[in-house]
Amino acid sequence: MSAPRLPEAAAEGPTAELLAARRGGRLSTLDRLLLHSPAVAEGWNAMLGALRSGTTLPADLRELVVLRVAVLNRAEFEWAAHEPIARRAGLDDARLALLRRPDALAGPGWTPAQSAVLAFADASTREVEVPDEVFAAVRGHLSDRQVVELAVLVGGYAMVSRFLVALRVPPPDGEVAG
């Protein structure tokens, strides 16, 4: 396993304690890199905590988005951290394998809501602008609140993946809590 491009910051102080509290006491390499900028780490922690546990999106839709963004942005850390969570949310081996394919949206077996959310994640991640027909499909399955949560989820995990890839953060050995 290769090392990230920056050394890990010391895991001490109030910001480290905040991150560790959300993570069940353990800090990941990602957290230790963020600790180079305590203000950024605190904002990151609050936003990602809200996206992980404060939205009304069903868990399967949330994890589909996180994993799809990870694939599109080649963020192996993100995939490794979220695959166990996705499995608990009901995604099986076939769905997980399909998510890794460029033509994931064409795969059989997605529910209409899953298809709509995946199309939104792909459009937003690849092109930024979401076509009207893709947005309308999401509106057919999600409340106003959930559409906002979906848009921020895609953008938030695009931020996560870009950070991970830019700093070459190696994948963890499994799920990253919190």
**Alpha helices, DSSP H only, in the chain?**
14-22, 29-34, 38-53, 59-72, 76-88, 93-99, 112-126, 132-139, 144-166
Contacts of 156 (CB under 8 A, 6+ apart): 47, 48, 51
pLDDT at 71 over 90: yes
pLDDT at 100: 92
pLDDT for position 64: 96
Per residue, the 3-state secondary structure of 134-158, as one string, reads HHHHHHCCCCHHHHHHHHHHHHHHH
Mean of the per-residue pLDDT values of the chain: 92
* pLDDT at residue number 177: 57
State in words which class domain 59-166 has.
mainly alpha
Compute the C-alpha angle 93/98/101, nearest 5°.
140
CA atoms within 13 A on the CB side of 59: 11
Which pTM value belongs to this model? 0.92
Q: What tokens does 75 get?
A: 């963020």
End-to-end CA distance of the chain: give it in Å, rounded.
23
Ordered by start, the domain boundaries in the chain are 14-53, 59-166
Q: How does residue 134 score in pLDDT terms, banded at 50, 70 and 90?
A: very high
**pLDDT at 27 exceeding the cut of 60:** yes
